Structure 1
Amino acid sequence: MERRTEPAPTSISRRRRGAALAGATLLTGATSCASSLDAPATASITRTGTSTVLSVGSARIAPPYEVEIRRSPFQIITRRGGQTVLQTTSVGPAAIDLDTASGVVGTTDVRNVIWHGGTLAIDVATTDPTRSVRVVLTPEARGYRLTARVSGERPSAMALHYDMPISGHWYGHGETKTDKGGPYKEQVWPLDGVGALGGRPLDKAFGPASYNMVEPFWFTQTAAGFTVNTARLMTVSMGAAREKVADFAVHDSESIESSVFVGRTPRDVFGGYLEIAGKPASSDATDLQYEKVVWNSWAQFYASVTQKDFLDWAQKIHEAKIPSHTFSLDDGWMSHYGDFTWNEKFPDPKAMVDRIHAMGYRFGIWVTLWINLDADNYRFAADRGYLLKSKDDPRTPCTVTWWNGKAGIVDLANPQAREWYLGQLQGLRTNLGVDGFKFDTRFFDERCAPYTPELTMFDYQRLGADMAQQFDLQGMGIRTHWTGAQRDGFVIRQIDKGTGWDALQSAVTQNLALATVGYPFLTTDMIGGSLDQPAPSKQVLVRWAQVAAAMPLMYASTSPRGVRDPVSGRWVPYDEETVRLYRQAVRLHGLLTPYILKQRDRAIEAGEPIVKPLFFDFPSDAASYDLTDEWLLGDSVLAAPVVTDSLQRDVHLPEGKWFDVARGREVRGPTDLRAYPADLGTLPLFVRLGTAEGAELARALKGVRDSTM
């Protein structure tokens, strides 16, 4: 077979691929593929009667792999060491299809393959004779860039489809919207459904403006993965629309651009995504906010909160000697949503703030960019063009529906609107002594039009992040996301959860999902949950506090002294044991804080997750890929909390020597501890011995129950 070698470009742009292939001819040969991320790797193609195969040699940060292009029907199959790690579908649906005015158009057969200048271009026919798709593959340091572009009129959506089972379990995505109440009531982890509560991820508004924390990055048990590089709205289905098929459709687009990663381990694939998304430049939370609890009034009172109730709640928590740093007033204080004036339930807000300060805590307050139609600020902002405009009629404000009614949204891209909004926040700081804010909002809505046509939904996430960075977010962070938001280093709080065991289980898996798309500084939803559900049981509240103790930060609302049930309206008291065990969990977190702060610094330096699935550190441990209720905190702590109504659980320990904190013994893994005893006061924690921090942690946590009473 004829072979030809030619130089490849010295670097490959991440935004422009497959240019100027006109006039090139089909050839078989080898070329050197360079990337700014690594030394060049050798690539070559071969042809058979049914396929064209792109083979890429090993690089320092990636193994050798090959990509087979099946000709009829068109299919892309990625292999590493002879094992298929990722493959598109071939029929039902086709590998790529288009939503058009005349129906769904799918790819069929390969018509031509061109190897030129370090790229492989494939021309593919479709079921519509007037349309074809050009697919361009460009080898890169950790995998390859895939760009697919359709000829002819722009479709309403262009979709890429993958077979799920061939790749083992699937991960990534972020918070999963499902038909069973996700992400509020369930978090599917892994995405193919092991351990799920019955739903499958299906999100028809998956994009940068979503209120859900979503990320266009997915990876697999077979150490493959990919990102869809777009700022447009997507529809994403993980086995929901079609069983065992992952669907990724970009709306209003004639192309799909994706970076495909091939690693030795899933952790390698995650590292490839971080090279695109970035690692945090800093953390927005202070050391104290990592160490102690932030309290927010939402689940304790919902919007019925009053000044008296708020102060009584804070006073009782203070008297319980639970280490805390901030009391934050949530929804329920505004005269109308969007007005920065106080309703009659708060006769003297300055005295309230002063009282919190006198107890030794900081005061925070809930705010939003939504301005309801009945607010005084709505007419003021609408008259001055301060609100996002309607897509259909740019002369009028965009009206959206949120959980508190119909509203407009402050347009942060309008300099005057931004200054006006910032002025109101600064007024709360200056006039009342408010120390920080809980931003609870969307910064854009896909039903609206941007301030200028070139602005994307992700640009509005950037504007929201830039605004929020001017204030203390008090360890509650902010919900900004999409590729690149990782660099901001905000604490990420989960979406609201219910108050039962299913919610607690979802709080664990949701943090695993968020950590593995690049957000290391995490809390669960407020301890005990909310969502207008009945007050959490004593057991759920204590176990949730234990889960939160083994997370980077702790975020709370329901008082362990008691709470008013939002469904029945009755007061639900908790006993003194609840208070003691809650306080014990918070003090345990305090003992872990010096270690957690080292992990925070490591995340800033290297992008390493603080909370991570066991398979990130133990990729050859097959059992770890199914676990939904254990995680590593850094490299040296394994948490296996009880998240069911039980006093025991099974614990899986990977290889190595582990110090069992609760029982004061050394255990050698890999092993499964069956029916591990864990009464209501026990959080099963295991310290990995032999690491740099293991011995120090084991000493610090010995006798932890006595030291945290």
Structure 2
Amino acid sequence: MNCRIRILSLFILVLSCKIVAAQSDTSIALAKAEYWYGGAVEYAYKTSFGHPTFQFNLYGDVSNNQSSPILISNQGRWFWSEEPFMYRLTRDSLTISQLHGKLFSGKSGDNLSTAQAYVARRFFPTRNILPDTLLITAPQYNLWIELLDYPTQEGVMNYAKLLLQHHYPPGVLMIDNRWESSHGTFEFDANTFPGPKEMMDSLHGMGFKVMLWTCPFISPDGKRYKELSSQKYLLLDNGADSKLSYEKAYAPLMIHWWDGVSACLDLTNPAAMNWLKDQLDRLQSKYGVDGFKFDAGDPYFYTSKNLLSYQQVSPNEHCRLWATVGLSYPLNEYRAMWKMGGTPLVQRLSDKNHSWHDLQMLIPNTLVQQLEGYTFTCPDMIGGGQAATFNDHTKVNQQLFVRSAQCHALLPMMQFSAAPWRVLDKEHQEAVKKAVDLRMHYMPKILAAIKEGASTGKPVVRSLEYAFPGNDYAEIKDQFMLGNDIMVAPVVTEGNYRKVIFPKGKWKYKNKIIKGGTVKSFVVALDELLIFEKL
């Protein structure tokens, strides 16, 4: 009997699914109070929680963050393609155009939860594998803002020692750009890291694991360039001759990016992919490196009309191939990503400015990351990832830094870069430490929610619209659910006051019981994060 029911359910779902040929535009009218989620994560804060006119082309994605060819409605409708497309949202309609592959559409249930469950199961099923859990169970420490483009062995060790002196728990330490003499050597610069193995051993002894920043670019004046070029392990340049074949091409393509002009590994070539993994494996075996921060790889780096590769693929597929490298390393992090929902890859939001506006992006963008199957999410760096503000500590808004730490506290991951002891006074440092302690207190629930997400594909953190459909919660983007029963309402605006929406039911706050179906106002102390337990 159960088998028959499952077959009937599958038959009904197949009947509700439509397939549109590539190149055909699709336009639908929005239903009353219908909202859409997905596409480019970077813009979720303004597209998924309101009705602005917005248009974005996923092909050659320039958003600097995760994206997927998925759109999901809070009324159960959905669209999916294996290839990128352009989407346009207005107050009244959704249009999908410039398709590069078949477009699938359908309806599963009548809310965001049922639609997400169906598309996740069908298009990006979870692998039920977690990344290294130290990324979750302790704060992460990224050395970017403190050391910038000048990391040294001495600087790394000093930062680690100061973390422990200020009573922060050891966790994952990320050595950012320029630990190599040039991009693609995959060897420590002996001038700045004279004893990398000894450094790794010392950090391990202090309780840290260590990640190295890496990218797919190869410096043309580096020692590996000539070797890789002769083996055709680099993307090639057709010299503006569209008829030139890959076999006859020989000149590597030069790509402009934020750190100069470089050649780029051709990861459509299995031999180049194997070469890259050999370099990463050697760093692990020779020095004890624990994992890697995989930066760059954005689709827009692969849009040149002159680009030739071993296999001709879309710019987005080049990005996805860069993402597959991380599957071999449980300790990983990405910022740019294409169509890798359901995998054990850590996804950080793009670098944010040190501003209240950008702080308000963290929750909505994380919520959409989760809907797209990016379970293991990190909300950028505490206080923002743009380094310029933190060069002069007098420009730091200390209240904003604290509220950012609190916003991170019960999200899947928490990452520092600017050193709190350098940019904060004693009162604000203590408030940040309290946020870290609060995370440690709730760690069993955070881990349980993450394990459930890895097992089922459900979001770890959920919007109120997802958790309590049919209550007109679609535009709420400053509070969230952790799993099924913890509601978190950080302060993300200047001041110490906020309103909290309570869905129906009973909610425990400190020693009080709050009856749901209401809105309450709170005065929130500097060191306080509002957390409510559903009874």
Q: Same fold (TM over 0.5)?
A: yes
Aligned residue among 263, 272, 286 for 1:417: 272
Q: Give the structure with the higher percent strand.
A: 1
- CA distance, structure 2, for counterparts of residue 167 and residue 35 of structure 1: 32
- Return the index of the structure with the highest Cα Rg: 1
Following superposition, the deviation at residue 208 of structure 1 comes to: 7.8
- CA distance, structure 2, for counterparts of residue 35 and residue 373 of structure 1: 57
Aligned residue among 352, 357, 360 for 2:199: 352
| Structure 2 residue 75 is matched with structure 1 residue 218 | no
Larger CA deviation: 393-402 vs 551-560:
393-402
The aligned amino acid for 2:434 is: Q
Greater length-normalized contact order (CA 8 Å, ≥ 6 residues apart): 2
- Any idea what SS the aligned residue of 2:508 has? strand
The aligned amino acid for 1:538 is: Q
Following superposition, the deviation at residue 201 of structure 1 comes to: 4.1
Distance of aligned partners of 1:668 and 1:559 in 2 relative to their CA distance in 1, 3 Å threshold: same
1:190 matched residue in structure 2: 48
Q: Aligned-residue CA RMSD in angstroms?
A: 2.7
1:526 matched residue in structure 2: 381
Following superposition, the deviation at residue 215 of structure 1 comes to: 1.3
- Any idea what SS the aligned residue of 1:263 has? coil
Distance of aligned partners of 1:318 and 1:168 in 2 relative to their CA distance in 1, 3 Å threshold: same
The aligned amino acid for 2:73 is: T
Asked whether the equivalents of residues 191 and 201 of structure 1 are also in contact (C-alpha less than 8 Å), the reply is: no
Report the TM-score, using the length of structure 1 for normalisation: 0.67
Following superposition, the deviation at residue 457 of structure 1 comes to: 5.5
Distance of aligned partners of 1:305 and 1:160 in 2 relative to their CA distance in 1, 3 Å threshold: same
| Structure 2 residue 292 is matched with structure 1 residue 321 | no
1:707 matched residue in structure 2: none
Following superposition, the deviation at residue 256 of structure 1 comes to: 4.4
User: After superposition, what is the alpha-carbon deviation per residue over 1:498-541, rounded to whole angstroms, capped at 9, x for unaligned?
Assistant: 11111111111110111112222211001121224412421122
The aligned amino acid for 1:310 is: V
Distance of aligned partners of 1:600 and 1:302 in 2 relative to their CA distance in 1, 3 Å threshold: same
1:491-510 paired onto structure 2 within 5 Å: 491-510=346-365
| Structure 2 residue 468 is matched with structure 1 residue 618 | yes
Distance of aligned partners of 1:382 and 1:443 in 2 relative to their CA distance in 1, 3 Å threshold: farther
Following superposition, the deviation at residue 477 of structure 1 comes to: 5.2
- CA distance, structure 2, for counterparts of residue 317 and residue 345 of structure 1: 21
Following superposition, the deviation at residue 456 of structure 1 comes to: 5.5
1:114 matched residue in structure 2: none
Asked whether the equivalents of residues 206 and 236 of structure 1 are also in contact (C-alpha less than 8 Å), the reply is: no
The aligned amino acid for 2:360 is: Q
- CA distance, structure 2, for counterparts of residue 653 and residue 616 of structure 1: 14
1:674-685 paired onto structure 2 within 5 Å: 674=521, 676-685=522-531
Aligned residue among 135, 140, 145 for 1:299: 145
Asked whether the equivalents of residues 126 and 342 of structure 2 are also in contact (C-alpha less than 8 Å), the reply is: yes
Stretches of structure 2 that go unaligned for 5 or more consecutive residues are: 391-395
Following superposition, the deviation at residue 191 of structure 1 comes to: 5.5
Distance of aligned partners of 1:245 and 1:452 in 2 relative to their CA distance in 1, 3 Å threshold: same
Following superposition, the deviation at residue 684 of structure 1 comes to: 0.5
Report the TM-score, using the length of structure 2 for normalisation: 0.88
User: After superposition, what is the alpha-carbon deviation per residue over 1:132-189, rounded to whole angstroms, capped at 9, x for unaligned?
Assistant: xxxxxxx725x2213246xxxxxxx54323344755322222424xxxxxx5xx8425
Aligned residue among 234, 244, 250 for 2:98: 250
Following superposition, the deviation at residue 379 of structure 1 comes to: 2.5
Aligned residue among 456, 460, 470 for 2:328: 470
- CA distance, structure 1, for counterparts of residue 129 and residue 105 of structure 2: 28
Aligned residue among 20, 30, 38 for 2:9: 38
Stretches of structure 1 that go unaligned for 5 or more consecutive residues are: 1-33, 42-138, 150-156, 177-182, 195-199, 563-572, 690-709
| Structure 2 residue 441 is matched with structure 1 residue 591 | yes
Residue identity over aligned pairs, in percent, reads 25
Following superposition, the deviation at residue 666 of structure 1 comes to: 1.0
- CA distance, structure 2, for counterparts of residue 514 and residue 37 of structure 1: 32
- CA distance, structure 1, for counterparts of residue 82 and residue 125 of structure 2: 19
The aligned amino acid for 2:513 is: E
User: After superposition, what is the alpha-carbon deviation per residue over 1:606-654, rounded to whole angstroms, capped at 9, x for unaligned?
Assistant: 21111110111211211x2111111111011111000111111011110
1:634 matched residue in structure 2: 483
Following superposition, the deviation at residue 339 of structure 1 comes to: 2.4
Aligned residue among 62, 66, 82 for 1:230: 82
Aligned residue among 206, 210, 224 for 2:59: 206
1:77 matched residue in structure 2: none
Aligned residue among 377, 385, 392 for 2:224: 377
Distance of aligned partners of 1:312 and 1:510 in 2 relative to their CA distance in 1, 3 Å threshold: same
| Structure 2 residue 412 is matched with structure 1 residue 552 | yes
| Structure 2 residue 34 is matched with structure 1 residue 171 | no
1:16 matched residue in structure 2: none
- CA distance, structure 1, for counterparts of residue 143 and residue 216 of structure 2: 20
Following superposition, the deviation at residue 478 of structure 1 comes to: 6.2
The aligned amino acid for 1:291 is: T
Distance of aligned partners of 1:189 and 1:627 in 2 relative to their CA distance in 1, 3 Å threshold: farther
Following superposition, the deviation at residue 411 of structure 1 comes to: 1.7
